[in-house]
Every structure is written in C-alpha cells, then in structure tokens.
Amino acid sequence: MAQSTIKDIAKKLGLSPSTISRALNDHPDISKDTKRRVQETADALDYHPNSIAQSLQSKRSNIIGVVVPQVKHVFFAQIMAGITDIAYDAGYTVMICQSNDDYKREELNIKALISQRVAGLLISISQSTEGCAHFNQLIKRGIPLVFFDRVCEMVEASKVVVNDFEGAFEAVEYLIKKGYRNIAHLGGPDFLNISQDRYKGYKAALKKHGLPIDDRMVIHIGLNEEHGTEGMARLLEQAPVRPDAVFCVDDPVAIGAYSHLRTKGLRIPDDVALIGFSDNPIASLVDPPLTTVRQPAYEIGRQSTELLLEQIEHDGNDMHPRREILKTELIIRQST
C-alpha cells in the first residue's frame, strides 16, 4: 500500500496542498478548525511527513548519526543510552551505525549518514582506523562532528574522552603497592588514543616506583576477547619472567586473558593478577571478579550529545572545538 501524501489529504478535504502543508506546520494564517480537520484526516490516512524532503527544504534534518565500533559491547550500549536520552529530549531522532571495527565499513556508514542529511555526527573510531581523511570531509561540508572515547586527534573537532592516562596509572600503581613487581601490559592497537594513553600511564607508574620497563612485557593487540587470549599466550611465551600481574587495555581483553590463564592451570590472582578497563557487567560476574577501571559511559554519551546539539543550534558559528575529559574510578575486586 502506497504511503499517503499531502495531495491525498487535500483531495479528501477539498483544499489545496499548500493549505494542507501550512495547516500541518501550524501556520498562523490557517484557522484552528481547519488545522483540526487536517490533522484528523492525516491521522485517518496514516500520513507521515517525508523527513528527507523536509530536510531538503530546510537544509537540515532532525536526525543525529552515530557510528560506534561494536554495539555488542555493553560500554558502547551505555554510551548510546546517554546519547538517545539527550537527543530525544531535544526533539532529535538517533540513527546508529556499527563499523564492526572495520575502517572501510566506517567510511560507508559515514557516507550513508551524510546521504540522510543528518544534522550532525557522533563517532567513536574503529580499531583499524589510522587515517582521518574521511572525517576531514565532514568538517569541509560543515557537518557538526563530535568524537567520543576513541578519537581522531588530527581532526579539528570536539572530543569527549576519559582520563585514560590517570586511570591506567592508578591501576598499575595499585598493583605495585600490593607487592607485584613483574607487571605486564596487554595493550590495544598502538595508533589509537586510548591505547597510547593507557600505555603511557602503565609506564609512568613503573617509572615512579623504580621498576624496569621491558618491551618484552608488553603486547599490542586488538580490543576483543579473542585478542586477549592470543595476547596472553604470546606474553607467556616471550616474557623474560612469568608476569605476576597483567594490566589489560580493556575488559574484553582481560576476559580473554582470564580464559587462557585458566587453560594453562594458572590461578588468579595467586599466580597472575589481572586488571581490566571499562567495568563491563561481566567483570563482576567472573570468578574471581575482575578488578577494573570504571569509565562513566552514560556520561560520555550525554556530554557528547550536548556538545553536538550546541554546535547544531549555533550552526557552527563562533564554535571552537572543545575537549571534555571525564574521570575514571578504580574498582577493586578479587582478581588482584
């Protein structure tokens, strides 16, 4: 069945399409009675306005585009909850795309959202994104853009992140104060901002307490569970001594490392202690529960959206990119 149009309403009521359009847009020249009859007929015909056509007329839509690496991760789900709550309260609809941590798919997602004439974009880059040219195209087009969590530092756009350095430093220093000395690091892709800052925090804590920094105790891998399993296997093979503790770039990597240690018959934390980063729900459910660094995911989504809406409402005028840095919290559990 074809969708109803303004012409269908006009034919039903014996009015001109322009009158119908003005009535639906609450134009002051149209009487209350006519507006009522138009709305009742529109409801009866199940009429819905064409948002794309409206955006072509106004040069702006009420859709916010979001690109996330993976929707299956609870961390990003919590961020999206913050995004949608703020966006919907402001009268915007949210269109979410998943890059699946693939650079090419990220590019395709952005092109698709541009074709929908989105009012602005919120993006957390994939773990295979090393170039930023596709983001600079958004800036050239004048499309408001805010990065969150995983950001592209080379692009002049607002960013909402956590203090990854401080969170990592606090986690590793806690291990040192507990008496661990052979502390390894399962890090993420070395070109990602979160990987770089967490690695820097790891090294700074070791340096502060006079412990050696040995490259053989560091493995840079991906950000998922399978990477944690692979990374832990490599670490046990190449480390000059068996680590007595491992600081992982995120919780999925820590869970993968957990799995491999168990298959090798190593006890947590008696043989090897583990710390993750994010505080995914699974961190408190494994046995023993995982010590981790909590990120304020919902707040990341909320602040990112507020920054984007501010840009949209000001049409980019006199808006300078801002960087919001949120604090983390060390959550101590039995894995350490």
Say if residue 6's pLDDT is above 90: no
Q: What is the mean pLDDT of residues 214-224?
A: 96
**What is the distance between the alpha carbons of residues 296 and 68, in angstroms, rounded to a whole number?**
16
* Strand ranges (E), 149-212: 158-162, 183-187
Mean pLDDT value across the chain: 92
Between 23 and 302, name the one with better pLDDT: 302
Helix%, strand%, coil% for the chain, nearest 5 = 45, 15, 40
**What is the distance between the alpha carbons of residues 224 and 239, in angstroms, rounded to a whole number?**
22
Model confidence pLDDT, tens digit, residues 119-155: 999 999 999 998 888 998 898 888 999 999 999 999 9
Strand partners, 24: none
Question: What is the pLDDT, as a whole number, of residue 54?
Answer: 53
Say if residue 307's pLDDT is above 60: yes
**What is the distance between the alpha carbons of residues 295 and 178, in angstroms, rounded to a whole number?**
23
Question: What is the pLDDT, as a whole number, of residue 50?
Answer: 62
**What is the distance between the alpha carbons of residues 91 and 223, in angstroms, rounded to a whole number?**
35
pTM of the entire structure? 0.82
- Are the C-beta atoms of residues 201 and 166 closer than 8 Å to each other? yes
Query: Per the structure block, which two tokens stand in for 333?
Result: 């559990």
Burial class (CB in 10 A: 0-12, 13-18, 19+), 59: exposed
Model confidence pLDDT, tens digit, residues 34-75: 999 999 998 888 887 665 555 444 455 789 999 999 988 899
Between 25 and 208, name the one with better pLDDT: 208
Q: What is the mean pLDDT of residues 252-281?
A: 97
